[in-house]
Amino acid sequence: MKKTIIGLALLAACTLANAAVIHFDDLSGDETQPIAAGYAGFNWDNMGTVRADTYPGSGFDTGTVSSLNTAFNAYGAPAAISSADGNAWQFTGAFFTSAWVDQEISFEGWRSGTQLFASGAYTIDTTGPRWIELDWAGIDTLVVYNSSPTQWAMDEFTVPEPGSLALMSTSLAGLMFARRRKRSRVS
């Protein structure tokens, strides 16, 4: 009984844990520089960052949720975000804003070259950020497509904290072990 209560308490703690949010504010915001491979544990194909104040009134400015920078797709082309170590991860969501004109974006989630998920189209504009939540688990690559050859801004890229997932897994395993042990005593 005591172990079950401890396991439930650990599981409850997991649900209260925060997600890892990538703000891009620790990068230079130099739009000519791509986001370096391995930044925050991901490879960022065709992505850079720009300071919010570089283009006042644009979607880069209005779409920056954190204080300083936002990420964007270079050259208005599709972008891909993949795990630097090749392991699967979960994309919770992010804020998206169109940089210059209204457009639609869509997403695909891939694992080991196999497409696992595809979204419908989401309309984004230049007036402010739109939170897009997908909660796709088990992917190693997220691809973001856009309907027009122009940039979009992305901020507050959110994934579950690895420690939270490990704590939850440990808690669930502990509960299952305690339950099996209890059943074997009863038999």
- In percent, how much of the chain has pLDDT > 90? 74
Which tokens hold the place of 85? 């170590």
Say which amino acid occupies 70: T
Q: What is the pTM for the complete model shown?
A: 0.79
- Where do the domains of the chain lie, and which CATH numbers do they carry? 1-18+161-187 (no CATH), 19-160 (2.60.120.260)
Confidence class for position 20, pLDDT limits 50, 70, 90: very high
Q: Residue 19: pLDDT band by 50, 70, 90 thresholds? A: confident
At a CB cut-off of 8 Å and minimum separation 6, what does 71 contact? Answer: 24, 35, 44, 47, 48, 49, 153, 154, 155, 157
pLDDT at 161: 75
Closest C-alpha to 96, from 156, 19, 32:
156
Q: Which residues touch 111 (CB under 8 Å, ≥6 apart)?
A: 88, 138, 139, 140, 141
Q: 86: how many CB neighbours lie within 10 A of its CB?
A: 10
In 17-142, which residue ranges form alpha helices assigned H by DSSP?
Answer: 59-62
pLDDT tens profile 96-112:
999 999 999 999 999 99
Q: Where would I find the H helices in the chain?
A: 2-16, 59-62, 162-186
> Rg of the chain's alpha carbons, rounded to an integer?
20
- Structure token digits, residue 129: 């950020």
Structure tokens at 13: 């703690």
> What average pLDDT is seen over the chain?
86
Q: What angle do CA 169, 141, 26 make, to 5 degrees?
A: 85
| pLDDT at 7 (0 to 100) | 47
| pLDDT tens-digit readout, 25-45 | 999 999 999 999 999 999 999
Residue with tokens 């050859």: 149
3-state secondary structure of 1: coil
